[in-house]
Chains A and B, each alone.
Chain A
Amino acid sequence: MSRRFTPKVVTANDLLEGDVIYLTADDRWSRAHHEAELIEDEAHAQLRLLFASGQPARVVGAYLAEAKAGPDGPEPTHFREAFRTRGPSNYPHGKQEAANV
């Protein structure tokens, strides 16, 4: 028996900036994890990943990352994905920097 599908988001890095981006339900790329489309169906997840991978001039390295529903939208479940939503812990750089501005 295959394992039950757990919710995912499609994430990648922006080609020009390198920044972490997320695929939204309305086919945009957002820099905010909570705006991502939370995908609860495996077949749909594969379609969305194909859609993302078909944009080589915009994104690099698209993949499905584990996520869960939260009050403001999807939240990461693994610490690696949590770091990707913020930036490094030694300087206030990356997304956390933009949030401070």
Chain B
Amino acid sequence: MYDYNAFDRAFLAERNAQFRSQVERRIDGSLTEEEFRPLRLMNGLYLQLHAYMLRICIPYGTLNPGQMRRFAEVAERWDKGYGHFTTRQNIQLNWPKLKDVPDILDSLGEVGIHAIQTSGNTIRNTTADHFAGAAADEIEDPRPVAELIRQWSTDHAEFQFLPRKFKIAITGSPNDRAVTRAHDIGLRMVRRGAEVGFEVLVGGGLGRTPMLGAVIRDFLPKADLLPYLEAIVSTYNVMGRRDNKYKARIKITVFENGIDVFKAAVEERFVETRAQFSGVDQQILTEIEAQFTPPAFRNAPTEAFDAALASDPVFRAWADTNLAEHRAPGYAIVTVSLKAHGETPGDASSAQMRLLADLAERYGHDELRISHEQNVILPHVHKSDLPAIHAALAGEGLATANVGLISDIIACPGMDYCALATARSIPVAQELATHFRDIGLEQEIGALKIKISGCINACGHHHVGHIGILGLDRAGVENYQITLGGDHTETAAIGERAGPGFAYDQVVPAIERLLRAYLAQRDAPTESFIDAFRRLGPAPFKAALYPEEARDAA
């Protein structure tokens, strides 16, 4: 993975020194909050309901054991001994004190971690397929390009005050695990003959006006990527609306002007930007690529794995749900669930972070990933090491065998932390997870994506959940809308609202009615909820959610 060079280290140290001085001037009264706020946001520092929150960038979700250990140390020394991994592959500390934040950033800077552009109307962390570099279905590892985008977009003078925030996602696989159609720009690696390039999508996004990205280029040569991105963002910077915050995202720019008009403007601008790029970006990309060479995979027998599968049903259940196919023979991709039943989705304690770092070092070629689904990935593990890894994970409460199941829920922090939230998300996720475990239906229900947001901004991706739950404030009471039929993959779809919302204590019973209707009507146990929904349409599920209305209509 990418190691900072002398330029990166000097840049970050200087930036952290600037922020230290800004914090000092805020505390001594020489900066007002209005002056300080944009400065702190540019460095990832929010003020939430109960405390400050520091959002720390994990570029394209990749980190090494030393960085994970540093998160553990920082969380223990300056916070409450845990961190929260987010749907944008970042980590958030929920309780930092203002005066400590410069020390935290210096400490993180020592291991090549920053919080720059994790807020503000800038280009945010470029998110990527969390199986990048390991997945069997991949064309190329997209992370060198993601790192190039990080370097290009960080402190990019033209793009520090965009009309609104700007998010790019990238995948190197046809199976889209990066939700590319729900981003301002989605990049999908594709082949044309022997050449590798990108399908470029623009104008996707969730939030109050969910839209799926449209194709602006079906094949962009790899070498044209940065000038083309620069053309898109600079066109948006000019055309995007600044009169209304809710109409300022690029999805509205594309929607109001039409993709053809927007594309024409981008292509015109691209003629200029391409001429300005001298090719130095491609030299840098070559240097970056050299740092992403695959690890030296070993050729070893997998009998230990096969024996554990045969003899240990707990291990087998975990292997069935938490492993994915690796490109190298004898290897597997391990998803470590941060969704233990009843715990907070995406949270890891310092002890858990240290264990994950140790395991990555000992068994995982020094690599860790954070998924947008708020789990941790060990991307390169030889199968013979899996029994030992599973046993170690179990010792820290990290061996939950539920990846892809009903309890593997995305949930934003919601009103337990977030100042923007209109309702809580975390306790809804906790109760759903424990309820379906307790009534013994989790395995029976099988593959299912539930995604929960505590407000219309949709950090919890509820629009693309098979079942989406959106928490709102209805006349001073928490109320939850349910959407059905969303899809976050390459067959992306926005879920449809099922009907009136449910009170806080009615959400779990409503979801149970819905899923019992699915179990009763699926044509075979192999037919997943989303497949049954697509075959049957929403009617039987709405009838299960709203039995009184179904009765009245009868």
Contacts and interface: CB of A to CB of B under 8 A. Distances in A.
Interface residues of A, number: 25
Interface stretch (A16-24, A34-42, A67-75): A16-24
Contacts of A57: 27-29
A15 B25 CA distance: 12
Interface residues of B, number: 31
A78 B474 CA distance: 11
B5 to A, nearest CB: 35
A15 B24 CA distance: 12
Interface string A61-101: 10000000000000001111001100111110111000000
B16 interface: no
Nearest to A87: B50
A32 interface: no
A13 interface: yes
B427 A80 contact: no
Contacts of B416: 83, 88-90
A73 to B, nearest CB: 20
B480 interface: no
Interface stretch (B95-103, B353-361, B483-491): B95-103
A79 B94 CA distance: 20
B97 A18 contact: yes
A89 B426 contact: yes
Given A20-B50, A60-B33, A89-B426, A80 B97 contact: no
B426 to A, nearest CB: 5
Interface of B: 26-29, 32-33, 47-52, 80, 94-99, 344, 415-417, 424, 426-427, 430, 473, 476-478
27 contacts: A13-B51, A16-B99, A17-B97, A18-B48, A18-B50, A18-B52, A18-B97, A18-B98, A20-B49, A20-B50, A60-B33, A61-B33, A61-B47, A79-B473, A80-B49, A80-B473, A83-B49, A83-B416, A84-B50, A88-B50, A88-B416, A88-B417, A88-B426, A89-B416, A90-B416, A91-B80, A93-B95
7 closest pairs, A vs B, by CB?
A88-B416, A18-B51, A57-B29, A18-B52, A94-B50, A90-B344, A90-B426
